[in-house]
Structure 1
Amino acid sequence: MRSKSLNGFLIVIIGLTLGNCRSKSESKTETAPISNNEFVYMESEKRIELILEDNVHFLVVDKPTKAKFQTKNIDNQRLVIYGSGIMLNTANKDGFRFIITPIEKTLVDGNLEIQVSERNENGEIFSHKFLIPVKPKPK
């Protein structure tokens, strides 16, 4: 009797594990194109836009730059934004405001990587990696 319940329990755990692996493999991570001097990513009805202060197209090493993320059809309570040198300034219903200070040793091929991810109620993942060009600090 105990052996049957243990086998049933193991089958349920294995099924859940395999189902979770499938969900993770179906998530998408892509790189943002620059469109109309802005960083924008759209997937179906979801949209996220990174706007740098003064509409610049690059960051400078060790120089703080204000930025904001504006979202459309994204649950901001479920949204995660992370990257090296990024600090939350404010958040409201229109989006998030950050201060981004690129650190030279964390750059990838001269770009700062900022990842955004949202897991919706169905377990689907909306994920994207922004690559922001970074120039060396002036001497």
Structure 2
Amino acid sequence: MMKHLFLNICLLFSILTFSQENLHYKEGIYSVEIELANKSHLLLNQENTFQIVTKNIETVNLSAAGKNLKIKKGAEKNRSVWIVTPSNEILVDGFYQLNITFRGKKGKLFSHQFLIPVKE
């Protein structure tokens, strides 16, 4: 009984940790974080708003790519607002793929793929 409880707690903790870590990328002095409007996942077949928050990355050196993705006007220095409407056809194993690429201060190119959970 205690063994099953312990395993369930470990599984829950690892799922929560994966979801939070999956939305944050750090490489040296640079970081990119995805802030979802509802905190944990995107909603299937609905318009979702999220923010990309950066540290030590110039906005002009950042690009984001994903299916059904568009940027909202009025981006701030280290924060941009995006809109996506995920559908079953574009998901990979229940996740929305968001690709981020940016150029660092010395011209080095960085790239990362975020896998954002999608629920109905």
Normalized against structure 1, the TM-score is what?
Answer: 0.66
Work out the CA distance in 2 between the residues paired with 1:49 and 1:75. Answer: 14
Residues 34 and 40 in structure 1, CA contact (< 8 A), matched pair in contact too: no
- Aligned pairs (5 A) from 1:1-139: 33-35=18-20, 39-55=23-39, 57-90=40-73, 91-120=75-104, 122-135=106-119, 137=120
1:4 maps to what in 2?
none
Unpaired stretches in structure 1, ≥5 consecutive residues: 1-32
CA RMSD across the alignment: 1.8
Q: Distance in 2 between matches of 1:132 and 1:47?
A: 17
Unaligned 5+ segments in structure 2 are: 1-17
Q: Return the TM-score normalized by structure 2.
A: 0.76
Q: Which residue of 2 aligns with 1:16?
A: none
What is the deviation of 1:120? 3.5
Contact 2:58 2:77 in 1 (8 A): no
- Structure 2: distance between partners of 1:67 and 1:51: 6
Q: What CA distance in whole angstroms lies between the structure 2 residues aligned with 1:94 and 1:120?
A: 14
Q: Distance in 1 between matches of 2:19 and 2:41?
A: 11
Query: Contact 1:87 / 1:100 at 8 angstroms: preserved in 2?
Result: yes
Contact 2:24-2:31 within 8 A present in 1 as well: yes
